[in-house]
Amino acid sequence: MRILALVPSYYDTSPGQRFRMEQWEPLLRAQGVEIDFESFECERLHSLLYEPGNFSRKIGLIARAFARRAMSLRSVGDYDAVYVFREAALLGPALFERWIHATGTPMVFDFDDAIFVRYISPSNGYLSYLKFPAKTRAICRMAAHVIAGNDYLADYARKVNPNVTIVPTTIDTEKYTVESHKTKSDIPVIGWSGSYSTVQHLDTLRGALKRLAERERFRLRVIGTASYELEGVEVEAIPWRAETEVADLRPIDIGVMPLPDEDWSRGKCGLKALQYMALGIPTLCSPVGVNSEIIRDGENGLIADTEDEWVEKLSLLLRSAQLREDLRMAGRATVETDYSASVQAPRVYNILKSLTRGAGKSDERITDVPAPSR
């Protein structure tokens, strides 16, 4: 089975791709699936795209990316199916998806964010206006099958396509392991991982963390930005790097994932929480979107909504080593059972297999491996 995978980002650079198809690919290959990745971005465009400014250079590189994408689709008939992650092109309407649809080659569409909601990027506000969020509905309609990262996204897709399967973002549990004897630091570490564009989510905790620092001793580790300042709090900020991602997360004693309750945030698939939990890091999240499905408050993690709740529950975690240990093991078990790549990749294989057999109702065949328990 040969699959052409059209992805937006350069290989091993985007969390969405890395924790979905790029992570599933070795497991699918073992089942006889050959996947050719074609990214919209080149290495130069990726390194430049999320930096402020450089408008003319970005436009030039994006124009070349459109040309490369068109060239990659000239051989679409040589493949059994085409996998599209989020969109075939970062800007513009669904032109390439319509091209694929016209060839008759089955297309599976996978999305893990509320990309149908207009979002203005902090680094590329002007380019954000050239995106076409409404094209998501058209792509869902044209797809032979839609893979959605959570219920919220699946409900959107089912309005125009009955062939929808929820496959969550997954973790490689052989790479993300729990250290049996974690070295204890003198000062407990509260950690957050993200990017320049999502650091605004961490900013929603500034008041809670400043209040917490008045009563508890801790250090804040921020992964994803070169600098972060918070008065009264000891902060360690480091840029995100794929090659050191796991090592950078390990020193964290308590992982936090704050989210605003907005349409865009409800489409998030809980990656930060799953990364923490897979490493045995007690996790505290906002009750937004899939977080409330991944986290069972008090059992495998904690949920906090208001600023008072964030202060109270972070204090509880800092003071109780036993609570941290209980949540550490329960969180890891949740990932192993429902959110590991080895559990979910067979479901993706069944979808691809059903499409290459020319089947339209593939939901009926995807029954051997369960979706995450609710």
Which CATH fold topology does 189-338 show? Rossmann fold (3.40.50)
- Whether the pLDDT of residue 4 is over 60: the answer is yes
Quickly list H helices, 73-116.
95-103
* pLDDT tens digits, 88-108: 999 889 999 999 999 999 999
Contacts of residue 143, Cβ cutoff 8 Å, sequence gap at least 6: 84, 107, 108, 109, 161, 163
Distance, in Å, from the CA atom of 256 to the CA atom of 206, rounded to the nearest integer, reads: 12
* pLDDT tens digits, 242-254: 899 999 999 999 9
- Whether the pLDDT of residue 359 is over 50: the answer is no
Q: What is the DSSP letter of 243?
A: G
* pLDDT tens digits, 48-83: 777 767 778 888 999 999 999 999 999 999 999 999
CATH of segment(s) 2-170+341-365: 3.40.50.2000
Distance, in Å, from the CA atom of 101 to the CA atom of 95, rounded to the nearest integer, reads: 10
Residue 74's φ and ψ, nearest 5 degrees, are -65, -25
What is the C-alpha R_g of the chain? 21
First to last CA, the chain: 33
Q: Where in the chain is the domain with CATH 3.40.50.2000?
A: 2-170+341-365, 189-338
* pLDDT tens digits, 274-315: 999 999 999 999 999 899 999 999 999 999 999 999 999 999
- Whether the pLDDT of residue 87 is over 80: the answer is yes
- When pLDDT is cut at 50, 70 and 90, the band that residue 374 belongs to is very low
* pLDDT tens digits, 193-222: 998 778 999 999 999 999 999 999 999 999
Choice among 185-189, 242-246, 259-263 with the minimum mean pLDDT: 185-189
Alpha-carbon distance values, 1 to 75, 79, 142, 340, 341 (Å): 15, 8, 21, 24, 20
